[in-house]
Amino acid sequence: MLDAIAGGLKPGASNASKTHCKRGHRYDLLNTAWRHGDWRHGVFRECRECTRMRNRRRLGPRIYLLERTVEWQRRKNRGKEADDGEA
């Protein structure tokens, strides 16, 4: 560890060079979410596809209702935007 610090390498430098998550999904603009941790962890990357898979496992059948609610909200907001344009 001291050699890495003396050489200018930070402990997180090895993670910064990773191009795929541990399940093999690619870290790119569409599949990467940046999260802010607490004071110890700072900012870190998170694979969006792994997050989706984890939520589907965790929520089970409720994810269907959640996705429908989000879609319903989008449709509702689109209707409001159309009404605002007419006035």
- For residue 3, tell me if it sits in a domain: no
Cβ-based burial of 45 (10 A; exposed 0-12, middle 13-18, buried ≥19):
middle
- In-domain check, residue 4: no
Q: How far apart are CA 12 and CA 43, in angstroms?
A: 11
Residue 55 structure tokens: 């939520």
Q: What is the pLDDT along the chain (87 residues), one digit of tens a residue?
A: 445 545 556 666 777 888 999 999 999 999 998 888 777 777 888 899 998 888 888 877 776 677 677 777 777 787 666 555 554
Q: Which residues contact 32 (CB under 8 A, 6 or more apart)?
A: 45, 46, 47, 48
Residue ranges making up the domain that contains 43: 19-86
pTM confidence score: 0.53
Structure tokens at 87: 């006035």
Number of domains in the chain: 1
